Structure 1
Amino acid sequence: MLNGFLNAFRLKELRSKILLTVGILVLYRIGAYVPVPGIPFQGMLSAYQSSSSANSAIAVLNLFSGGALSRVSVFCLGIMPYITAQIIMQMFQAVIPSLGTLAREGESGQRKITQYTRYLTVALALLNSVGYLFLFKSSSFGIDFSKAGMPGWLMDTVVVVSMLAGAIFIMWMGEVITQRGIGNGMSLIIFANIIAGLPTSIVRSLRTSDKGVLLTVMIVVLIVAVVPFIVYIERGQRRIPVQYAKRVVGRRMMGGQTTYLPIKVNTAGVVPIIFASAILYFPAQLAVFFPGVGWINAFANAVSSGWLNWVLSVLLIVGFAYFYTSMVFNPDETADTLRRQGGFIPGVRPGSATAAYIKNVLNHITLPGAIFIALVAVVPSIVFTFTGNSLVQAFGGTSILIMVGVALDTISQIESQLKTANYEGLFIK
């Protein structure tokens, strides 16, 4: 493995991508500590601590922003506006024929959809910025902005514009990582947020009670024990045998070989968890627009934690697993490709019968994988409700699944580039 990492840095192109990715993530974490101009920093921290203890929705939003919300950082909106915009665009592609056609036009169509996603991200970020401004001024926080020495309207404009610029900059960083770095930029930024909150959560866990050390050790051991099962599911696949008919090309006999069509148990990866989290955190984001409306805040708190959050999490993760799998894996296109290449599944007729067979297999293996990741995401939330341990909240099932999924995806990309350059993979002797 050490030789694999050394080979990764020997390859100039791969080394540049890794350093670019690490540099952007470091820049992102620095930005999470840069406060919005004019904000009373210590006053915000004390206001957040008193408010988050009674408002689980605010605590969840802060966790997903990597602690930037508690500091009123320019990055306090985090990656959520971009994720929400991507969810909306994914759904629009399924219900609006013109967008669906655009998505199938290849690179040019994807560029247009990406541009639409950026516009939508800016609009959502602007709405969130205004909502956070109302939240900071509400009775829940009660921050005094008069000490900034600016007129009220100017201070409000500075706060909104700063947070909007931060969200746009985060979107740019995520896209740069995806296009020029290693891994998915959106997932890696969430990964960085989770890692950033881990040391603080461990310290809080150790100080919770007299049994804090024992409880922390038990949680860490349980997390380590669960990781291999997550990796097993992430790497698991159903291999459908495929036979290629013999055919003459020029003077050579081609085909006649047997291979397989790999279908992953968890084709959607960590995307269902990220999408489900974004949907469940939306009421919390909506609540910041109406801090004085009791039923909206009560609904946001109920959806952010408790039995309603658990049920909705399972349903949304399973639903998004099927939805996203259908977006990235098309049985009809796969069956048509096999037919054109002279391939067929033994015992299944080419064409529509093959597409129906692949779709049936896909539906059968997606369900257990989706239920597994849903349970891993929900069970730690239930444990946190009864223990109140901050380590379980910050490093629970959702965090583990995202971290393992992102790590596996990033390592796979590094290995593929190493093998392309005639190097061995990271885990191959």
Structure 2
Amino acid sequence: MLKAIQNALRIPELRGKIAITVAILALYRFGAYLPVPGVPFSAMLAAYKNAAAGSGALTVLNLFSGGALSRVSVFSLGIMPYITAQIILQMMQAVIPSLGALAREGESGQRKITQYTRYLTVVLSLISAIAYLFLFKSPTYGMDFSQMGIPSLLEDVIVVFTLVIGALIIMWLGEVITQRGIGNGMSLIIFANIMAGLPAAIIQSVVAEGNILVTILTVAVVAAIIPVIVYIERGQRRIPVQYAKRVVGRRMMGGQSTYLPIKVNTAGVVPIIFASAILYLPAQIAVFFPGVGWVQAFANAVSTGWINWILSIVFIVFFAYFYTAMVFNPDETADQLRKAGGFIPGVRPGKATADYIKSTLDHITLPGAIFMAALAVVPSIVFSFTNNSLIQSFGGTSILIMVGVAMDTIASLESQLKMHNYDGFFK
């Protein structure tokens, strides 16, 4: 592992990508501590602690913003407006034929969809910024911007404008990491958000709450779960493929046996991120109605507790199938096999091969998705009765996201290392 990292740092191109990624994540974390102009930092931090004491929704919002919400920083909106825009656009591709055709046009179509995603991100960021303004001025926070020395309306505009610009900067940072860095920028930013709060949660659990035994048990359970997640993430179903013999000039070609690998978890960490984004929406909507009790109760129920567990399982399974269908097309795979002279033993080429691949994909996606959903929910269920802040902030979903993103990043580095004739991380 250490030798592979040294090899990666020896390659100028890869070293530059790593440097860009680290620099952008450091810049992002700096923005999470940079307060909105005119907003008192210490007063807002104290107000958040009082407001979040009995609100699971606020805890979820703060977790996925990397603690930026508690400081009312420039990056308080986090990456969620961009993720929500991506979810909406991807789901619309399945129901709007013109968008679906655009997605199949290749690079030019993807550029168009990316442009639409950016426009939708601006709209969602504006809505979220206005909602946060309502939250900050509600009795929950009790902030009176008229005491800042400038007109209240001007301060409102400054807060909304700053939050929207911060969300757009995060979107740009994520795209730069994706294009010029070492992995998926969206996933890495979420990973940074979750990891940023881990040390503080552990310290609070041990020092402030005195739950040393619970903290040790939590760490032990996490350590035991990680190898299981890695095992499932790297598991695959290998469909045997045989290539027919053919004569090319004076040489006999083909006749080879190989396999078509299909991952148990084809969608990777995306279903968990998408499910978290959907469950995050009620908490986001609740900030529009800070004084309405039933709205706050609904947002808290969806953010934590048994309703959150059930919905997490449903959404993770749904998005596992949905995203797998987006990234893996059995018809195209069957057509490529037919053109290359390959076939699955005992299965006719063409539609029968596509149906066989689709059936195999459906059969392995379901247990994989259920297993990942169980891993996301079971730790939260087991430790929910402890009222421990570490468990409240870092349930199974956070663990799955952190491990999944780390594995995707390592896989990306490994593939680039092999391109330069070096052994990968998993020799």
TM-score over 0.5 for the pair: yes
Farther off after superposition, 335-344 or 393-402: 393-402
CA separation in 1, counterparts of 2:177 and 2:237?
Answer: 31
Partner letter of residue 116 of structure 1? Y
Map 1:39-118 → 2, pairs under 5 A: 39-118=39-118
Q: Please tell me whether the aligned partners of residues 40 and 145 of structure 1 are also in contact (alpha carbons under 8 angstroms).
A: no
Matched, 1:413 2:412: yes
Structure 1 residues 356-378: Cα deviation after superposition (integer angstroms, max 9, x where no partner): 11111111100111011111111
Q: Which amino acid aligns with 1:266?
A: N
- The reply on whether 1:15 has 2:18 as its aligned counterpart is no
**Regions of 4+ moved over 6 Å:** none
User: What letter is aligned with 2:245?
Assistant: K
Which string of whole-angstrom CA distances, capped at 9 and with x for unpartnered residues, describes residues 92-115 of structure 1? 111110110110111010000000
Instruction: Summarize the alignment of residues 296-307 of structure 1 with structure 2, pairs less than 5 Å apart.
Output: 296-307=295-306
Which residue does 1:309 correspond to in 2? 308
1:229 is matched by which residue type in structure 2?
V
Q: Which residue of 1 aligns with 2:205?
A: 205
Q: How does 1:376-395 map to 2 (within 5 A)?
A: 376-395=375-394
CA–CA distance in 1 between the matches of 2:393 and 2:4?
31
Which residue of structure 1 lines up, in the alignment, with residue 36 of structure 2? 36
CA distance in 1, matches of 2:9, 2:249: 44
Output the CA distance in 2 between the equivalents of 1:236 and 1:348. Answer: 24
SS at 2:69 equivalent: coil
Partner in structure 1 of residue 249 of structure 2: 250
Any conservation in 1 of the 2:384–2:392 contact (CA below 8 Å)? no
User: Could you tell me which residue of structure 1 aligns to residue 138 of structure 2?
Assistant: 138
1:209 Cα deviation from its structure 2 partner: 4.7
Match runs of 1:271-290 below 5 Å: 271-290=270-289
C-alpha separation in 2, matches of 1:316 and 1:426: 32
1:208 CA drift (Å): 5.2
Shift of 1:381: 2.1
Note the alpha carbon deviations across 1:223-267, whole angstroms, 9 max, x for none. 111100000000000000000011122332211100000000000
Structure 2 match to 1:155: 155
RMSD over equivalenced CA pairs, Å: 1.0
Letter in 1 for 2:384: T
CA distance in 2 between partners of 1:279 and 1:68 (Å): 20
Structure 1 residues 231-380: aligned runs within 5 Å: 231-380=230-379
Stretch of structure 1 that moved more, 290-299 or 213-222: 290-299
Secondary structure at the aligned position of 1:17 is classed as: helix
The residue type paired with residue 407 of structure 1 is A
297-306 or 32-41, larger mean C-alpha shift: 297-306
Q: What residue in structure 2 maps to residue 168 of structure 1?
A: 168
Partners of 1:298 and 1:411 in 2: CA distance: 40
Aligned-partner Cα distance in 2 for 1:208–1:305 = 22
How far apart are the structure 2 equivalents of 1:209 and 1:324?
A: 41
Question: In the alignment, is the contact (CA less than 8 A) between 1:380 and 1:393 conserved in 2?
Answer: no
Instruction: State the alpha-carbon separation in 2 of the partners of residues 128 and 251 from structure 1.
Output: 68
Any idea what SS the aligned residue of 1:263 has?
Answer: strand
Aligned with 1:36: secondary structure?
coil
Structure 1 residues not aligned, in runs of 5+: none
Number of equivalent positions: 427
- The CA distance in 2 between the partners of 1:63 and 1:406, in whole Å, is 16
**TM-score, scaled to structure 1:** 0.98
- Tell me the residue number matched to 1:121: 121
Residues 141-180 of structure 1, C-alpha deviations (whole Å, 9 max, x = no match): 1112123211111100000000000000000000000000
Task: Report if aligned partners of 1:57, 1:304 keep a CA contact under 8 Å in 2.
Answer: yes
Q: 5+ residue gaps in structure 2?
A: none
Aligned residues: percent identity?
Answer: 72
Which stretch has the larger CA shift, 169-178 or 301-310? Answer: 301-310
Query: For the residues of structure 2 that align with 1:8 and 1:209, how far apart are their CA atoms?
Result: 42
**Which AA in structure 1 matches 2:251?**
R
Amino acid at match of 1:134: F
Distance 2:363 2:107 in 1: 32
- In 2: Cα distance, 1:287 partner to 1:384 partner: 26
Q: Distance in 2 between matches of 1:31 and 1:301?
A: 28
> Are 1:426 and 2:422 counterparts?
no
